[in-house]
Structure 1
């Protein structure tokens, strides 16, 4: 679907774009068909590959449709309106966010349905969400305590999902009994519409632990189903275990009520060359599809001060490092500073441009306000702008 995407202004403040004088809109810059290496950019530079993004969006849309899941990809991965619009156009049922501020961005862009996969307790934010819901916007929040239910009700009420968590995890009730108690409070609270249950399995370490947790999620859904009408919404799914979520939630397994299973995998839109390359469910189920890394960083060798060592002009301010260091063919990244990366092996020359693959897209996008999208011939076909 079409979103209300602003045409932002590029000028000297746009990192990576070489615009020492003058200004140009993102649309006009893309229309000019600049090339990555024609002098329009400086280094380091984060680039999104158009063909990989398009393929990944189509893959996940087809996957969700094949297993009869509603897809609500997590927008916090990119917070880039163009990519969010592409996911909606491919059939996404909703978009997911982590904070009220992110929900505000999506509301202003015109996203019709938003899940907030987190607890919202700020009365100012809750009041705004409730007011927007009263105007017809579909926004769903999570609760994991009676206090959370009371906060939502005090703000005017919203549709809610009760969150199940796990020991050592983040938010979420730790037992089915707690889920039921919170669900009963929500069902009885004025202005609140109880829709179902939700969970996040992405931080769990292995298939057996994930499967056991999802069995508990199904148990929780069965336990609260009597408090709902015709449909029970059950939501889960990071980008590492969505195959197990599909296996656990697929089909109509509730008596007298329809299950709407909602998958929230967000990092799939760009995939990566590290964390998700190793953990994607398509490694376990290759017949179901594949994802291609769509993010790359171009950076220049600044110095070769010692034998076997190259220092590259890219650092923690530019590239993610929380789930693994960047990678580049034939070389090894050993560490990063704020603006420098240490590379060993091979013999890169001073001034040479190196292409790096990145690990963890969620902490790549938030470092860049503007990102060129390039086709396979290195022609810039779009410019993403991010709202973090």
Structure 2
């Protein structure tokens, strides 16, 4: 049972623990005393719309979908993504794979090389698909026990993991194929660090070439996997479709940030900016924080810091002001200039703020937002709590 108690940041309950279900049933509003600040919220309508939009995109383009749940690590969102048609889920670590299994996911892909023997034995026992980019990685996986499904990773110069050449990939693929306890399932890559659509397309073409080069080593489905949240339109254009020899492939997309979207990094980079006729994503997250001090003209110190909101891919965006009497105003001309652990420096842009006012901030880069909270109230259109997200790890 999950419950709201003294450990639950943003919620304010000095009394006995309150089960999540009872807290939700009480129908609390954001400003009726059940919360303190800062407080991250999630908008139910935006979450629902984003899950549906991405499911429809994948169905339209012949993509199998394994969303990367590192973004949120939340059981209720995993269930929503699977219910919308996701094939399975992608994770970054063995701990996240363990959590995904506990959340009910039966198909799990770890999109990194796993070298820990304990984690590999568990992954093998549960048929978790793993990624390798070296003979050493293949040999470590081969000692895990039962047959392990494996994707071999292709990378690119100055990128993250993955073999840098097709020849290197073929050596690793052969090592996987020749090992009695490994099953080569296909190839994978990550295009998110590339600078433009042309470079992404060229890399994905190399990935399909790699799939063709290892196809003779694979019985059954041949998986070709890619896809962050910035170039999934190019993935949809280049990965699906049979190989030149007619061999069908399963094009497996792994995008994750879409589920909550944001008001910064992905707002500027989402492929739906280029695909206006195929849907839009909505920012689902926000942080309400309180004005603590207005020590000099044009400056307000906000009770929100690096422990509460992401700052690695853009600073939070002030959007609305709520006065002590409940009146709402647009945060015109305001901008965040810097953040400390527990303080945000807000240039007020000519607006007058007083201590006790609340400011709603949009966030940038959701992958470093959920991990700062262990409980996030989900609110409906009128600000009433309709659920509680419980991010893990």
Q: Same fold (TM over 0.5)?
A: yes
User: How far, CA to CA, are the matches of 2:25 and 2:106 in structure 1?
Assistant: 29
SS at match of 1:343: strand
| C-alpha separation in 1, matches of 2:364 and 2:282 | 13
Is 2:71 the counterpart of 1:80? no
* Aligned partners of 1:121 and 1:152 also within 8 Å: yes
Residues 328-347 of structure 1 deviation map (CA, whole Å, 9 limit, x = unaligned): 13211000000000111122
Which SS does the other structure have where 2:126 is aligned?
A: helix
Q: Does 1:302 align with 2:289?
A: no
Tell me, in whole angstroms, the C-alpha distance in 1 between the residues paired with 2:33 and 2:244: 60
Alignment check: 8 A CA contact 1:69 1:263 kept: yes
CA distance, structure 2, for counterparts of residue 217 and residue 132 of structure 1:
27
Deviations 1:161-190, CA, capped at 9 Å, x for gaps: 000111111110111111111111111111
Deviations along 1:195-221, whole A, 9 cap, x unmatched? 100001112121121112111111111
Of 114, 117, 120 in structure 2, the residue corresponding to residue 123 of structure 1 is 117
Q: Give the Cα–Cα distance (whole angstroms) in 2 for the partners of residues 109 and 58 of structure 1.
A: 20
Instruction: Name 1:339's counterpart in structure 2.
Output: 342
Displacement of 1:250: 2.4
Runs of at least 5 residues in structure 1 that lack an aligned partner in the other structure: 1-6, 134-138
- The answer for the alignment partner of 2:8 in structure 1 is 14
SS in 1 for 2:317: coil
- 2:324 aligns with none
1:215 corresponding residue in structure 2: 205
Select the residue among 60, 67, 82 that pairs with 1:66.
60
Secondary structure of the residue aligned to 1:66 is helix
Which aligned runs of 4 or more in structure 1 are off by greater than 6 angstroms?
Answer: none
Work out whether residues 123 and 129 of structure 2, in 8 Å CA contact, stay in contact via their aligned partners in 1.
no
The question of whether the paired residues in 2 share the 8 Å contact of 1:230 and 1:256 is answered with no
**RMSD across aligned positions (CA):** 1.0
How far, CA to CA, are the matches of 2:45 and 2:242 in structure 1?
A: 36
Tell me how far 1:254 sits from its aligned partner.
4.4
**Structure 1: distance between partners of 2:22 and 2:63:** 38
**1:286 equivalenced with 2:276 (yes/no):** yes
Cα distance in 1 for partners of 2:186, 2:123 equals: 19
Aligned length, in residue pairs: 377
Residue 138 of structure 2 corresponds to residue 149 of structure 1: yes
Contact 1:180–1:223 (8 Å) recurs in 2 = yes
SS at match of 1:258: coil
CA distance in 2, matches of 1:131, 1:197: 22
- Cα distance, 1:108 vs structure 2: 1.8
Q: Is residue 186 of structure 1 aligned with residue 186 of structure 2?
A: no
SS of structure 2 residue aligned to 1:155: coil
Matched, 1:352 2:357: yes
Secondary structure, counterpart of 2:292 in structure 1: strand
| d(CA) in 2 for partners of 1:205, 1:334 | 27
> Match for 1:258 among 248, 267, 279?
248
Is residue 52 from structure 1 mapped to residue 68 from structure 2 by the alignment?
A: no
Normalising by structure 1, report the TM-score. 0.95
Structure 1 residue 255: deviation in Å?
Answer: 2.2
- CA distance 1:230–1:132, shift in 2 (3 Å): closer
Deviation of 1:129 after TM superposition, in Å, equals 1.3
Aligned match for 2:383, one of 378, 383, 387: 378
8 Å contact from structure 1 (residues 230, 258) kept in 2:
no
SS in 2 for 1:87: helix
What secondary structure, in the 3-state scheme, does the structure 1 residue paired with 2:137 have? Answer: helix
**CA distance in structure 2 between the partners assigned to 1:208 and 1:200 by the alignment:** 15
1:149: Cα distance to partner?
0.7
Distance 2:181 2:220 in 1: 19
Residue in 2 that maps onto 1:3: none
Distance 1:27 1:67 in 2: 38
CA distance in 1, matches of 2:111, 2:184: 15
Equivalent residue number for residue 39 of structure 1: 33
Residue segments in structure 2 that go unaligned for 5+ positions in a row: 320-331
